Amino acid sequence: MTRKEILMPGGLPKYVRVCDDPTTMDRYTVVYTGHYRRGDNDGYVHLGMSDRPTHQQGYGQHVESEFSAIDVNRGGWAPAIGRTCHLGKRIEFTDLPEECQRLAANTYCHVWGL
């Protein structure tokens, strides 16, 4: 198997968590997980976006957090699929709109150097 096949089985990013909060402009938050960080100064990458992130009136922004992924609780655990946290309800990657999936997958490839 190639590295890309391992990190993107079936063409889907393996190390992501997705939250949905339909009450906010950045409805979807994609949290990139796994051991992609290369140095002590690298942050944890996240992507916030609307349902049309590449549209001229849409929203799509990459952010970094310094100490941990932004969807974890004080114990360091992320919510299970179907459960909620301050970012909304955790959903499957495939539940994202197609445009969001493309942007999130492109970012994933960049983060992992694929």
Output the pTM of the full model.
Answer: 0.89
Dihedral sign (CA 30, 80, 94, 113): positive
Task: Please answer whether residues 47 and 104 qualify as being in contact, where contact means their C-beta atoms are separated by less than 8 angstroms.
Answer: yes
Dihedral (Cα; 98, 104, 105, 111), 10-degree rounding: 170
Closest by CA position to 44, among listed 29, 58, 54, 59 = 29
State the Cα–Cα distance between residues 75 and 58, nearest whole angstrom: 34
* Cα(41)–Cα(97) distance, integer angstroms: 32
1-47 confidence digits (pLDDT tens): 899 999 999 999 999 999 999 999 899 999 998 877 665 567 788 99
* Residue 78 DSSP symbol: P
pLDDT for the residue numbered 68: 75
Q: Provide the mean pLDDT of the chain.
A: 90
